[in-house]
Chains A and B, each alone.
Chain A
Amino acid sequence: MLIRNGGIEGKIVSSEITPRQKFFSRRDVLTGATALGVGALVLKQVPGLIHPGAVHADEKLATVPSKYTVPDAQTPFSKATTYNNFYEFGTDKGDPAKYAHTLHTRPWTVEVTGLVKQKKTADIDSIMKYRPIESRVYRHRCVEAWSMVIPWDGYSLSEFIAWAEPLPSAKYVQFLSDDKSSDMPDKPGGFDWPYSEGLRMDEAMNPLCLLTFGCYGEALPNQNGAPIRVVSPWKYGFKNAKSIVKINFTDKQPHTLWNDANPPFYGFYSNVNPNVDNGGPQSHERRIDSSAFPKTIPTQMFNGYGDQVASLYAGMDLRKYY
């Protein structure tokens, strides 16, 4: 279940209780007490840094390992879930963790529309049970030139597309995110909501493209795009639609929110490319991991996934199709 800000019912959720062994395993209660005191001091001195109201879906997922896993040092859970771009909940990167508790992820359905054999609607729980959920550690590169390494949980989007049965005429797949005012009451103006993103059919069918339900072995926290999102790790992060309510198959390139907002910065493809500057130099990235200050490292072509995806763009001028 979701722990909402403050808890509407004010109940103590079982997951909040320290496991018995853990509690009694403290060799020295004093050490624990000291740690608590120091922790409280830190908390008191840096208000707003740690968000007690941060949404945290503490629902463990049963996952299987996957070959699509990179060896890079992972970004801590606490950082990946408090530093988010999810503009529906505010434009500051701390906003989604603070305000995404208004998102209701059950009941949740995903509509399949457009060029398909038959329009259908699927319930989130049945989508999650459709295939085994794999744990895949992916590099995640934001167009703002920072990056993370996140263990995502999901299965290849291609499996879902096979179930959706698009017509041969379908050339693109469009993802539309939730934009209900009851879920997202304070969406900033100046954008054409709902969030729309899209992929070419062959990109969407690439096994790397992950239909994602969780991260770090748990159901997605709201601020990370609960309950269902897409992750295509060779593209900039904004390509990965969050909180998807509709998947639409078309024969024309779908419009995308960021491309509408600022065409020279955000192209339709938006593959990670150190040689093309979208909205600033992209040759380097600041890797957010467990160290105190992010390290600047060179950005890899296709975010290091060239072996799997470069063939999709053979013969294309990547400066033109950025």
Chain B
Amino acid sequence: MPTGWIPYVKALVHVVCLLPFLELLQQYRSGAFGLMADPVNYITHQTGYWALFLLMASLAVTPVRRLHPKLANLIRFRRLLGLYAFFYATLHLATYLFLFSGYDLPTVWAGLRAGHPGAIMDEWKAVWPTILDDLKKRRFIQVGLFAWTLLLVLAVTSPALVMRWMGGKAWRRVHWAVYAAAAAGCVHYWWLVKKGVRAPLPFTLVLTALLLARVVWTAMHRAKKARDVAKPAPAAVSTS
């Protein structure tokens, strides 16, 4: 990709990544949620789906850019995609905490407008035991929260400033956690659905393919290195 294109493509990526969120907003404004039997379930599913989708997209950047030297600057989009994945994962978690749990937003809102900020905590106290019970009993919630925590660490350490401060090696090591987060996301999905539902299969296959691509590339890279060591290598290659 010519370097000059990058700002435009970046703008496009922003728009595409924001579309699912804007669609949800539009559905809220248009009253479409009122027609759905279970809009909370729908919002939970949409935000979870896009979190996983964008996580896979960010993981696809490295294998794709290895295909051709001209694709090398795709790296400029990896952090963006990862941060949007975190954005949707956070919306997903917030949906669970504020809509699914029974937290009564309209009551809190009415309380705030009447000048009682304590309503925020009162509602929390009411739903907290249910959330804790869920967390103790439902393994899909445990693994989901684990995945979100990993994404939080990655998001916090994503600015270039933090990367410089940490040092490239340490930073890369921490960011390997993205594999764990993606795997935990898939497990979260499998544990959530009832037996017989295969909806998480596409994500699982994509993740497997992306991980395999890395394994294959590393093996090829090592073999090449071994060959290069066996033969006296030309100076230009050995410095790369």
Binding site for B on A (CB under 8 A): 41-42, 45-46, 49-50, 75, 78-80, 82-83, 87, 91-93, 146, 188-191, 261-262, 277, 280-281, 283-284, 286, 288, 292-296
Contact = CB atoms under 8 A, between A and B. Distances in A.
Given A188-B198, A280-B138, 7 more contacts: A45-B32, A93-B38, A146-B38, A281-B134, A286-B40, A292-B34, A293-B40
A136 B31 CA distance: 31
Given A42-B32, A45-B32, A46-B27, A296 B102 contact: yes
Nearest to B134: A281
Interface string B31-51: 111111111110000000000
B196 A191 contact: yes
A281 B37 contact: no
Contacts of A42: 30-32
Contacts of B26: 45
A288 B31 CA distance: 16
A178 B33 CA distance: 34
The 6 closest A-B pairs by CB, nearest first: A296-B102, A83-B37, A79-B37, A292-B34, A190-B196, A46-B32
Interface of B: 26-27, 30-41, 99-102, 104-105, 127, 130, 133-134, 137-138, 193-199
14 contacts: A45-B30, A46-B30, A46-B35, A50-B35, A79-B37, A82-B37, A146-B38, A146-B41, A277-B137, A281-B134, A284-B102, A286-B38, A293-B40, A296-B127
A292 B130 contact: no
B196 A281 contact: no
A175 to B, nearest CB: 20
B101 A83 contact: no
Given A46-B30, A296-B101, A283 B35 contact: no
Contacts of B34: 292
B137 to A, nearest CB: 6
A261 B33 contact: no
B195 A190 contact: yes
A42 B38 CA distance: 18
Contacts of A277: 137
Most buried by A among B35, B36, B39: B36
B35 A281 contact: no
A296 B195 CA distance: 25
A78 B99 contact: no
A45 B35 CA distance: 13
A91 B196 contact: yes
A144 to B, nearest CB: 8
A309 B34 CA distance: 35
Contacts of A50: 35
A294 B38 contact: yes
Most buried by B among A46, A78, A262, A293: A293
A98 to B, nearest CB: 14
A11 B17 CA distance: 44
A262 B200 CA distance: 19
A75 B38 CA distance: 11
Contacts of A87: 196
